[in-house]
């Protein structure tokens, strides 16, 4: 996605993948800065560490609680979050809907991406927020924090009974957990619990365009569904704009992403 965009814009640079051990994010970012890198995307599980490491944190990234984009300028590290804004663009594109009009349920609200999306929904003044997380205390603490921002937020236990009760009361369902990529992953929702009017947003995706587990449930219910490829595209485009202060060539990135995932 990024390499075709760089080429299209005539930028003499390359996007590469580097694996960094947990606890070494600060050291790695300093090495990248010294080596002349322009920008970095930070992914699972480094987004909290990146927030604590960069020299300056953008106010939105601070509020969302995670950094997934770093811009290196004059040797200084500037941290941003493109997951939250990328999520809004993806909801608009996929469902022709605005988060402010929706009651949102987030599974995995305690992770870096799930938390960012929950806070972004609160900033948009969504109609109501229901937070679910394996470690229930994280969802509970976040719900209390977001109530302080004036949004109607609650946390519920991750069990079939509680979910069956809340699902009819929500419009948009977001999977922000790392579950769903493999068929053997534990089910996110009880079978038959989705309704045809639900909008289902999976942050996870499977290469080759195969349906995720949540995608299969949505399809059975006749619900509108989008997988994480759309978010990957939009958060990548926003990262590109932070690095180059230049509109991202979205169609070129979309085609590059499609080619890479089908390869
Ligand atoms: N498409 C995109 O562009 C995009 C962007 C961002 C993220 N993502 C995807 O979103 C997912 C989360 O990313 P992240 O950065 O937020 O990761 P993270 O900070 O490590 O959070 C992982 C989340 O998944 C939950 N979880 C992990 N294993 C679980 C299990 N076995 N059962 C139930 N819950 C489980 C965690 O719950 P606990 O709090 O209990 O540990 C936590 O809420 C990843 O799959 C990532 O690839 C996609």
Write the pLDDT tens digit of every residue in 7-23.
999 999 999 999 999 99
Residue-wise pLDDT tens digits, 220-246: 999 999 999 999 999 999 999 999 998
pLDDT score of 209 = 77
- Tally the C-alpha atoms within 13 A of residue 28's C-alpha that lie toward its C-beta: 17
pLDDT score of 53 = 96
| E strands, 35-132, in order | 39-41, 56-57, 69-73, 76-80, 103-107, 128-132
CA distance 33 to 41: 13
Our answer on whether the CB atom of 232 is closer than 6 Å to any ligand 1 atom is yes
Which residues are registered as beta bridge partners of 172? 104, 199
Q: Whose CA is nearest to atom 26 of ligand 1?
A: 177
CATH of 2-81+230-262, one of 3.40.50.10860, 3.40.50.10490, 1.10.8.50, 3.40.50.12780: 3.40.50.10860
Which residues are registered as beta bridge partners of 201? 174, 226
Q: Which residue intervals of the chain bear CATH 3.40.50.720?
A: 84-226
Q: Which residue intervals of the chain bear CATH 3.40.50.10860?
A: 2-81+230-262
Q: Give residue 232 CA to ligand 1 midpoint distance, Å.
A: 14
- Tally the C-alpha atoms within 13 A of residue 175's C-alpha that lie toward its C-beta: 24
Residue-wise pLDDT tens digits, 92-147: 999 999 999 999 999 999 988 899 999 999 999 999 999 999 999 999 999 999 99
User: What length does the chain have?
Assistant: 263
Residue-wise pLDDT tens digits, 22-74: 999 999 999 999 999 999 999 989 999 999 999 999 999 999 999 999 999 99
3-state helix, strand, coil in the chain (%, to 5): 45, 15, 40
pLDDT score of 239 = 98
CATH architecture assignment, domain 84-226: 3-Layer(aba) Sandwich (3.40)
Q: Is 100 a catalytic residue?
A: no
The DSSP bridge pattern shows strands 153-155 and 172-175 to be unpaired
Q: Whose CA is nearest to atom 34 of ligand 1?
A: 134
In the three-class reduction of DSSP (H, G, I as helix; E, B as strand; rest coil), residue 261 is classed as helix
- 72 touches 33 (CB < 8 A): yes
Residue appearing with tokens 């608009």: 92
Q: What is the DSSP string of 84-98?
A: HHHHHHHHHHHHS--
Q: Which one of 2, 44, 49, 142 would you pick to mutate in the ligand 1 pocket, going by the greatest count of ligand atoms within 8 A of its CB?
A: 44
The reported pTM is: 0.95
Band (pLDDT 50/70/90 cuts) for residue 180 is confident
């Amino acid at each position: 996605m990024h390499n075709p965009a760089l080429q299209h814009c005539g930028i003499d640079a390359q996007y590469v993948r580097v694996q960094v051990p947990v606890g070494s994010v600060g050291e790695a970012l300093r090495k990248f800065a010294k080596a002349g890198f322009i920008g970095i995307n930070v992914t699972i599980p480094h987004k909290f560490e990146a927030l604590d490491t960069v020299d300056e944190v953008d106010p939105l990234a601070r509020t969302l609680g995670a950094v997934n984009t770093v811009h290196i300028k004059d040797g200084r590290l500037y941290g941003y979050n493109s997951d939250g804004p990328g999520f809004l663009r993806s909801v608009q594109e996929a469902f022709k809907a605005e988060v402010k009009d929706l009651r949102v349920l987030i599974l995995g609200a305690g992770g870096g991406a799930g938390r960012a999306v929950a806070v972004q929904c609160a900033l948009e003044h969504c109609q109501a927020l229901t937070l679910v997380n394996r470690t229930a205390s994280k969802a509970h603490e976040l719900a209390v924090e977001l109530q302080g921002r004036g949004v109607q937020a609650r946390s519920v236990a991750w069990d079939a009974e509680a979910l069956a009760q809340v699902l009819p009361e929500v419009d948009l369902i977001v999977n922000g957990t790392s579950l769903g990529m493999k068929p053997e992953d534990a089910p996110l929702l009880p079978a038959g619990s989705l309704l045809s009017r639900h909008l289902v947003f999976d942050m996870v995706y499977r290469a080759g365009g195969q349906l995720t587990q949540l995608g299969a449930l949505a399809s059975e219910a006749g619900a509108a569904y989008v997988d994480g490829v759309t978010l990957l595209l939009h958060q990548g485009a926003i990262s590109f704009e932070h690095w180059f202060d230049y509109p991202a060539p979205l169609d070129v990135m979309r085609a590059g992403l499609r080619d890479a995932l089908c390869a």
